[in-house]
Structure 1
Amino acid sequence: MKRTYKIIIVSTLLMTTMFQSGCKKGWLDVNYNPRELTNTNATSNLLLPPLLEVAAAIPGEFEILSMWLGYWAGPTLPPALNLTNYTNVPSGSMPSQTLPFLEEKATALGQDFYLGIAKVLRAIAWSRCVDKLNDVPYSEAFKQAILRPKYDDGKSIYEDLMKQLTAASALIKNAEVSKNEKIAEADIMFHGDKVKWLQFINTLKLRLLIHQSNRPERAAYIASEIQTIKDQGSGFLPMGMDGAVNPGWGLNIKVSLYYGLYSSSNNRGGSRGDIFSGVNSVDFAHANEYGLNLLKADQDPRIGFIYSSVDVVLPAGAPDPFPQPAPNTFRGSRFGLPINSIQYPYQNRQYISAVGGSRNTDVVSAASAGIIKGNNMDAWVITSVENAFLQAEAVFRGWLTGDPEQAYKTALKESFRWLNVGGNKANPSLSDAIFDQWYTAQASNQRVNWTAAPDKYKLIMFQKYMALNGIDPIETWVDYRRNGRFPDVPVSVDPTRIGNTIPIRFVYTNDEIITNEANVKALGEINMFTGKIWWMP
C-alpha cells in the first residue's frame, strides 16, 4: 500500500467546495490550483481547511447505516440491492493521506496550533476507522518505504489517539498565535479560538471513552483519562455549540454538504448517485417506518423536524403495501421491502416523508428548523446533542459529577433546541417550553420519562438513538454494538438478505486483501455479522 502524499497534496480532497462567496477572498484564492501544490508552497493554512472539511464529510456509509439502523429507507429501491441484503458491505472511508503531511509541515515551521489541530484530526479519522474495521494499518500507514503495512490492533490505536489528543491540548494551549499564519482564517471550525478547541478535544476524548465503557477491564484506564480531562480544566463544549465547519457554502459557490446530499427540495447539485442501482443519496434520505413510528407512538413533537411531512397525502382508499399509523401526513418505507410500482403507485418520494427541514431552501436563519437548516448550513463533526448525551451517560456512570436525571433531561432538551422546535433559535426557551409540556404529558411513558423508566441506562440510550436520527448514524451504530444490539432495530426484509442480524463491522476491500494479503490473512477470518470491534463486550 504505497502512499505518496508530498507532491500532489490535495488531489483527494474537495478543495473546490472551499471558495468564499462575494468579492472578499476567503482562505482560498479563486485563481489557486490545488494540483500545483508542492512541498515548498503547501503551507499549513492551505492544507488545514480541506482536512477540516473531510473531518465533517458525510461518507457513503452515512446512508447505509441510516437505513440499517431504522432511520431511513429509500421508497423505491431496486430489489436485491447490496445495502438491503448485506452483500458487498463497504470498508468505509479511510483517513486522508494529507494528515501526516500537515503534521510534518507544522512541526517544521514551529506552528504548534496547526500541529495540535492536525493531531485532533488524526484522532477523529482513525477512531472512525477503528470503529468500522477494528484492526487497521496505523503505525506504518502512509510511510512511503513500507508497501505492506502491518495491522495494529484497535485498542492500541485508541490508546495512542488519546495520547495524541492530550498532546494536542498542550500544543494548542501554549501555541504562539503569531507563528501560526492565518490560523483564524484557515480554521474553519473555531477560527483560532483556543478555548473552543480545548473543549472540543475533551468532548472527543469523552466520546472515545464512552465507546469502551462497557468493557469492565477498562475501568481503571477510563478513570485515569477522565481525571486528565478534569485536570486540563477547560471542560466540554457548551450546550448550543457544535463542533462544525463551514468554509463559506452558499448558492453562489456550492451548497453545503448535507443540503446537497439529502434535501429533497435541492436543485443545485451536490447529491451522489449509484451507477449500478440508478438511485442517489436523496432517494435514500426518506423515513424508515421504524424510526417514524417510534416518534408517532410517543407523540413526539420532534416528528416534523426529524422528518418532513409528505409532499402529497396518500389518497383515501389507495393501495398501501403495509399499514401505517396516523397521522397520514407522515409516512415511511419498510427497509428492504420490494415494491411493485404498478401495484403500489403511491409508494414513492412524493408520498414518503423526507429528512426534516427539506423545504428550507434559503440561507440559515433564526427561524430555520429541522435537520436541514438551509443551503449554507454547517457540517458537523460532533453536535451539541451528542455532546449532551455523552455527558449524561458519564454522569450516570459516576465519571462526572451531577444529577443523572437532570443530565438526561438536559440532553433530551438539547435535541429539541438543536432542531429548533420552538421556531426561533435566538429564543431557545420556546423549544424548552414544548419539551417541558411533552415530557410532563409522557409521565407514564417508560421510553421518555425518567421516573417511569425501569432501566435508566436504556432510557438514556434509547433517547440518544432517537436524537441522532438523521444526524450521526455512525455513532448510533457504535452504541448499538456496544450495548448488545440495543435498541432492537428490525433487520432488512429483503428476501435475498444473507444474514438475520444487522452487520456489526465492515470488511476490508478486495484491493487491500490482494496487495497486503499476508497481513490481512494474519487477522484470521473476518465476519461482518460476528467479528467484534475491540470495545464491544
Structure 2
Amino acid sequence: MKKLITTILSIAFMAMSNSCSDFDEINVSPNDVSTLSPNFLLSTNTKNLAFQYSAFGYWGSKIPSMLQYYQVGDGYKSEEFNALFWVPGSHSPWEGLYANLVDVQAMHDLSVEEGNVFTEAVSLVYRAVFIDLITKIYGDAPFSEINQLDEGIVFPKYDRQKEIYETILIDLKTAKNMIEGIPGSEVPVLDGYDLLYDGDKGKWIKFINSLRIRMCMLLNNKKAELGVDVDAEFKDAAQNVFTSSDDNAVLHYLGSSSGTSFRGGPFNASELTYARRVSLDFLNSLRDQDDPRMYRWLRPVEKKWDRTIDAEKTIEYTDPLGQMFSVTKLPYPSGYDNLDTNLYVGIPVGNKDSWTSYNAGPQASSVEPKTTPFNTRLAEMYFQNANEYVGMDIITYSEVEFILAEAAAIGAFGVSDAETHYKNAIAASMGEWGIFEDYVGGFDFDDFYSQEAVDLSKAENPHERIMEQKYISMFFRAEPWFDWRRTGYPDFEAPYDSDQPVLPIRYHYNTPNPPDPQYVAKYNEAVERLEKTEYVSAPTKDDPRSRMWLLQGTNKPY
C-alpha cells in the first residue's frame, strides 16, 4: 500500500517561513492563546520523537549491524559495528534523547497552563516513549528528577527501571483516558500541527493503546515484580489497537532540505559510500523463503560470476517487482572454489576488518572499496532524500499483530488465535512495502504462506517462528533487539571476530560529565544495580553484557 508523505515541520521553519496570515490563524488557537501555543511544540516533538526512535534502527546506531541486517563493508569502524567491539560513549544516544525531553516537558507545562488537555496527554505519551527507549537501552536512568533545575536539581538520580515502568504504564493509560474524554471525533489542534493523525481522535487512542501492549509484552517476564497489573493493562489496551496499516504511526521525509531528508540522501551524506552491505545470514533468511521484500530492500550485484559463460557480457535483469538493473556477467575464474555466483550476495557476519574485497576473486586488488560491485548493497531508496518506503516508524499495525500473535502463542494476556494474528502481521508488512501492488503477475500471499519456513502450523516452535518472522518484517527497526533480549529469538550467531561469544544486551552509560562527586555517586549507584553475566570480565558492571532489571532472573537471552 502506498504511503502518503506527511509534512515535517519544525519551530525554526515556522518562525522563518509562515506568512502574516498564517500567524493570524496561529494566534486564534482553540484555547484562546495569544502567546506561544503548545500546538507549535506538538509538531516539533512529534518530528523529534519519530526521528529519534527510527534513527536508532538506521545507521548511526550500532543496532542494525548487531541485528545482522547489514555489515559495514568499507572498513570504517567495522571493528565496532561488525565485530561488536563496543566502547563507552561510542554512538550513544543519551544526550540527544534527554535533550528532546526538555521540549516535551515544555509542551507539558504550557499545556497545563493553557488547559490544553490534548497536548498535555500527548506530552505524557511522548515522555513515556522517550523514557522507555532510554531505559531499554541503558537500564536504570534519570527520570523523576529531570528538568528540575529551577528546583535546584542539577544531577538527577537514576530511577530504578521497575519504578520507571510502573510510572509510564500508568501515564499511557492516563493519556488515553484524557483523550477519550475530549468531546467529538476530533481533538482540538491547529490545522497542520498534528503530523501523525491530523486531529483524528480515534487514531490517537489506537496509537496509545498499541504502545501500551508493546510495553506490556516487554514486561511480561517481569510482571510479577511490578506494582501495576500488567495483564489488566494489556487487556484494557488490546480492545482498541491498530486495525490496519492506515493507523501506522509513521512520518515520511519531504526531501526538500537537510532537516526534512533521510540521513542517507545527498542532503545529509556528502559521499554515497554504499558502505553498508546486506549480511549473508539475513540474506539467506530471505532467500530461504523466497521473500519478495528482498527486492524492495536490496539490489543485485553489479558484477556476477558465472560458470556457464566464456566471455564477459552485460544483461538487463528485471526483478520480481519490475525493477531493472544492468548486471555484468564474468566467466568464473580458475583457481577459485568458493565465489558466490548468485545475483544477490551477502557478506559474512563479524569481520573486524574491511569486507571490500569479498567475492571479488582475481579483481580484489582493483575494485573501488566503497563501491565494490561484487556484493549486494542496499536499495537505491536508502540513498535518496525521500522515498515513500523509507520513513520514521514509531509503531505499525504489522508490529501490533505480531505482538498479539506472540501473546496467543505463549498463552499470555488472554489472547487467542495466534495464526490469524501472525498471518495478518506478515500480510500487513507485505502491504507496507508495496509487494501486493508491484509484484509482477500478482503476489500470491497464500502460496508464500504455505511454505515450510513460513506456515505457523508447520513450526516445531511457534513462538520462535513468530519472532523470526517479526525480525524479518521489522527490517531497519530497533525493536527486534529488545525482542531478542527477552525471548532469545532469533538465535543469532555471535560475530566470529568478536572478543565475546554473545551479543550485547545494553549500551554503556555515558560517563558522568562533568565528574561532579554527586553525579558520579548517582551513576555508581545505578551501575551497582546491574548484574554481571559470565561474559563480563571488566571490573565494572557498566558493560554491554551486564543485565539490567528487565533481564535479571529471566535467563534471557543468555
Deviations 1:414-444 (A, max 9, x none): 22111111235xxx9987x43222222x1xx
TM-score, structure 1 normalization:
0.78
Of 505, 520, 525, the residue aligned with 1:522 is: 525
The Cα of 1:142 is off from its aligned counterpart by 1.2
The Cα of 1:453 is off from its aligned counterpart by 0.7
Residue in 2 that maps onto 1:327: 342
Is the alpha carbon distance of 1:325 and 1:204 closer, same or farther for their aligned partners in structure 2, counting shifts above 3 Å?
A: farther
**Contact 1:114 1:180 survives alignment (8 Å):** no
The Cα of 1:41 is off from its aligned counterpart by 4.3
Measure the CA separation in 2 of the matches of 1:158 and 1:320. 59
Residue in 1 that maps onto 2:174: 167
Q: CA RMSD in A?
A: 3.8
Deviations 1:282-311 (A, max 9, x none): 645431111112112222222212323334
As a proportion of its length, which structure holds more strand? 2
Measure the CA separation in 2 of the matches of 1:175 and 1:195. 11
Structure label with greater radius of gyration: 2
Residue in 1 that maps onto 2:502: 501
Is the alpha carbon distance of 1:456 and 1:28 closer, same or farther for their aligned partners in structure 2, counting shifts above 3 Å?
A: farther
Residue in 2 that maps onto 1:36: none
**Contact 2:507 2:544 survives alignment (8 Å):** no
Measure the CA separation in 1 of the matches of 2:15 and 2:400. 29
Residue in 1 that maps onto 2:448: 438
**Secondary structure of the residue that 1:353 maps to in structure 2?**
coil
The Cα of 1:492 is off from its aligned counterpart by 3.0
The Cα of 1:181 is off from its aligned counterpart by 6.3
Aligned pair 1:78/2:76, yes or no? yes
State the percentage of identical aligned residues: 19
Q: Note the 1:222-371 alignment, pairs <5 A.
A: 222-229=230-237, 233-246=239-252, 249-254=253-258, 256-257=260-261, 260-262=262-264, 266-267=265-266, 269-271=267-269, 283=274, 285-313=276-304, 315-317=330-332, 323=338, 327-332=342-347, 334-339=349-354, 343=364, 345-346=366-367, 348-351=370-373, 352-356=375-379, 358=381
Is the alpha carbon distance of 1:303 and 1:507 closer, same or farther for their aligned partners in structure 2, counting shifts above 3 Å?
A: same
Residue in 2 that maps onto 1:67: 65
Measure the CA separation in 2 of the matches of 1:101 and 1:388. 34
Residue in 1 that maps onto 2:204: 197
Aligned pair 1:415/2:429, yes or no? yes
Using the TM superposition, name which of 283-292 and 147-156 deviates more.
283-292
**Contact 1:138 1:152 survives alignment (8 Å):** yes
Measure the CA separation in 2 of the matches of 1:178 and 1:438. 39
The Cα of 1:17 is off from its aligned counterpart by 8.5
The Cα of 1:159 is off from its aligned counterpart by 1.4
The Cα of 1:186 is off from its aligned counterpart by 1.2
Is the alpha carbon distance of 1:360 and 1:518 closer, same or farther for their aligned partners in structure 2, counting shifts above 3 Å?
A: closer
User: Which one-letter code corresponds to 2:481 in the other structure?
Assistant: W
Aligned pair 1:405/2:419, yes or no? yes
User: Which one-letter code corresponds to 2:298 in the other structure?
Assistant: Y
Measure the CA separation in 1 of the matches of 2:350 and 2:229. 40
Measure the CA separation in 1 of the matches of 2:77 and 2:254. 36
Measure the CA separation in 1 of the matches of 2:406 and 2:431. 19
Residue in 1 that maps onto 2:473: 467
User: Which one-letter code corresponds to 2:10 in the other structure?
Assistant: M
Deviations 1:460-496 (A, max 9, x none): 01111111122x1x21110111113x222233344xx
**Secondary structure of the residue that 1:56 maps to in structure 2?**
helix
The Cα of 1:179 is off from its aligned counterpart by 12
Is the alpha carbon distance of 1:216 and 1:27 closer, same or farther for their aligned partners in structure 2, counting shifts above 3 Å?
A: farther
Measure the CA separation in 2 of the matches of 1:311 and 1:186. 44
Is the alpha carbon distance of 1:387 and 1:183 closer, same or farther for their aligned partners in structure 2, counting shifts above 3 Å?
A: farther
Deviations 1:44-92 (A, max 9, x none): 1111111111111143664311001110112112366433442324443
Deviations 1:307-357 (A, max 9, x none): 233344464436999957563244445443423658455564352333346
User: Which one-letter code corresponds to 2:371 in the other structure?
Assistant: R
**Secondary structure of the residue that 1:286 maps to in structure 2?**
strand
Deviations 1:12-52 (A, max 9, x none): x993786699x9879998xx9xxxxxx99442111111111
Measure the CA separation in 1 of the matches of 2:57 and 2:186. 38
Measure the CA separation in 2 of the matches of 1:321 and 1:222. 58
User: Which one-letter code corresponds to 1:507 in the other structure?
Assistant: H
**Secondary structure of the residue that 2:424 maps to in structure 1?**
helix
User: Which one-letter code corresponds to 1:460 in the other structure?
Assistant: I
The Cα of 1:115 is off from its aligned counterpart by 0.6
**Contact 2:280 2:345 survives alignment (8 Å):** no
The Cα of 1:387 is off from its aligned counterpart by 1.8
Measure the CA separation in 2 of the matches of 1:52 and 1:281. 29
Q: Note the 1:485-500 alignment, pairs <5 A.
A: 486-494=489-497, 497-500=498-501
Measure the CA separation in 1 of the matches of 2:335 and 2:36. 57
**Contact 1:239 1:414 survives alignment (8 Å):** yes
Using the TM superposition, name which of 289-298 and 133-142 deviates more.
289-298
**Secondary structure of the residue that 1:380 maps to in structure 2?**
strand
Is the alpha carbon distance of 1:520 and 1:337 closer, same or farther for their aligned partners in structure 2, counting shifts above 3 Å?
A: closer
Is the alpha carbon distance of 1:181 and 1:388 closer, same or farther for their aligned partners in structure 2, counting shifts above 3 Å?
A: closer
Deviations 1:361-398 (A, max 9, x none): 597xxxxxxxx536xx5422112221221121123334
**Contact 1:413 1:435 survives alignment (8 Å):** yes
TM-score, structure 2 normalization:
0.75
Using the TM superposition, name which of 218-227 and 512-521 deviates more.
218-227
Using the TM superposition, name which of 151-160 and 302-311 deviates more.
302-311
Identify unmatched segments of 5+ residues in structure 1.
1-12, 33-38, 274-279, 364-371
Measure the CA separation in 1 of the matches of 2:520 and 2:220. 33
Measure the CA separation in 2 of the matches of 1:270 and 1:185. 25
**Contact 1:261 1:281 survives alignment (8 Å):** no
Q: Note the 1:27-42 alignment, pairs <5 A.
A: 41-42=35-36
**Contact 1:111 1:175 survives alignment (8 Å):** no
Of 106, 115, 123, the residue aligned with 2:120 is: 115
Measure the CA separation in 2 of the matches of 1:344 and 1:130. 46
